Amino acid sequence: MSAAEGPLVVGVDSSTQSTKALVVDAATGRVVASGQAPHTVSSGACRESDPRQWWDALCEALHQCGDAAREAAAVSIGGQQHGLVTLDDQGVPIRPALLWNDVRSAPQARRLTEELGGAKFWAERTGLVLATSFTVTKWAWLTENEPEAARATRAVRLPHDYLTERLTGQGTTDRGDASGTGWWASGTEAYDEEILAHVELDPALLPRVVRPGEVAGTVRDRQDLPLSEGTLVAPGTGDNAAAALGLGLRPGMPVMSLGTSGTVYAVSRHRPTDPTGTVAGFADARGDWLPLACTLNCTLAVDRVAALLGLDREAVEPGSSVTLLPYLDGERTPSLPHASGLLHGLRHDTTPGQVLQAAYDGAAHSLLGALDLVLDEDADPSAPLLLIGGGARGTAWQQTVRRLSGRPVQIPEARELVALGAAAQAAGLLTGEDPAAVARRWNTAAGPVLDAVERDEATLARIAGVVSDAAPLLERGTDTQ
C-alpha cells in the first residue's frame, strides 16, 4: 500500500443487512482499506435487529481494515434511517430495534395523522406525511403494544445515533436523520414539543442534534475497537443523506438508489412540504434539503421473484403485457402497508423471463412516478439520472430504468457511496470543507453515461392502470384478522 497523501478518515455504512467500513485518504478519496460484517434481520411484518449486532459488525469491519483504522484522524457513521432503538440507563437495548421496513405501526400512522390535523399538518410541521417507516409511529406502536418496554426506556436513538454514542459516550444525532423521525419540526429545525407530548415521549430521552460541521465527540478508550482514543467523530447521518454527500450532489441532480429499498431524491434549497405523502421532506446533512420518495420493495423483491421462477436475476425477456407489482413487504410508495405482490395479465405464451421483466418494471414504476415531484420546477429534465446502490451494477436494472425514465443514465464507478459520504463528512472536520465539495474533489460521481432512449409510455400507463384498478385489493392485503 502506497503512502497516503493526506490524513486518513473512516466512513461507515451501517445498513439493514451489514456494516461496511472504509478507510479513505482525505486528500485523494482513495480507499486504502475496507471491511464488512453481516447483521441478521427478522422476517415477515416484524423487521427487527439487535443493535448490539451493529456494534459487533462495526468492530469486525474495522478490524478487517487493519492498522489503517488505527491511523485514522476522524470517523463518521452513516446508517439505515428511521429505526427505533430503545435503551436503558446503562445504554443497553431494551428490545430489538424496530427497523424502517417493519410495517406493524400502520394503525398508529393512521391514528396519529387523524388526531393531529391530518396530512397537511404533518407535511407542514415535519415535512412528512406519516407512514409506517417513520420513527414516531414505531414509538406509538411500542407504547400501545409493549408498554413495559416503553416505560423502561431511558434513551431513544436512531441506528446511526446508537453507534455514534457507543463511540463517544454522548447522545447525538444530526438534522438529516432527525428529519425522518416525525418528531423533528422542519420549519424550526428543533424537536416538536406538541408531537412529543401527544405520543408521550419525553424530549430528555432524545439525542442532541449536532450542527453540520460540528464535532460530535471523540472516540473513547475501548479495547474492542481498533480506533485510536481521541479520534474525532463527525455527526454522521442517515444513509440517503450520506449517499448524497458521497456523490457531491448539487441542487437538481436526480438520484435513484436501488437497494433493499428503492429511493429517488435530489438536493433542494427549498423546504419540501408534500401533503400527498409521496415526497418525504428530509433535511440533508449540510443545511439544505433532500426531498425523497421511497419504496419498500426493490432489489430483494425482484431477486425473490427470480428465485421463485428459478431464473438468474439477469434472465429477463421483453415483449409481454404481463404486470407484476412486487409489493412483497407491503409498500410505502404508493402507501399500501398491507399489500402483497400482485400478478396480472398471464397468457399461455407468457415466459418466465417476461414475468421477471415485469417485476423489474413494477419495482421501478413507483420510483420514476415520484421523480418529477422530487425535483424542483427549474431542474434540467435532460440531466442524467445517477443510478446507485447494489442494483445499479445489474444490466437488467440499468436498461429498465433507462427505458422507463427516458433519461440518460449515469452509473458512478465509485462504490459504497454511503460509506464514502460518511468519510467525506469526517474529512470535512479536518479540512473545514463542505463534505459535498470534498466528494466532488474526489470525483466520486464519475462513471459511464447510457444515452437516453424513448420513454416506454405504454408500459408505464399499463402498470398505473393495474395499480388503480386493483387498489381495493391492495389496500385490503392478505390480513384476515
The reply to whether 239 belongs to the active site is: yes
Do the beta carbons of residue 437 and residue 300 sit within 8 Å? no
The catalytic position among 13, 102, 192, 239 is 239
| Strand-pair category, 97-98 with 31-38 | unpaired
d(CA 21, CA 252): 29
Give the distance from CA 413 to its chain's centroid. Answer: 20
- Give the residue numbers annotated as catalytic, written as ranges: 239
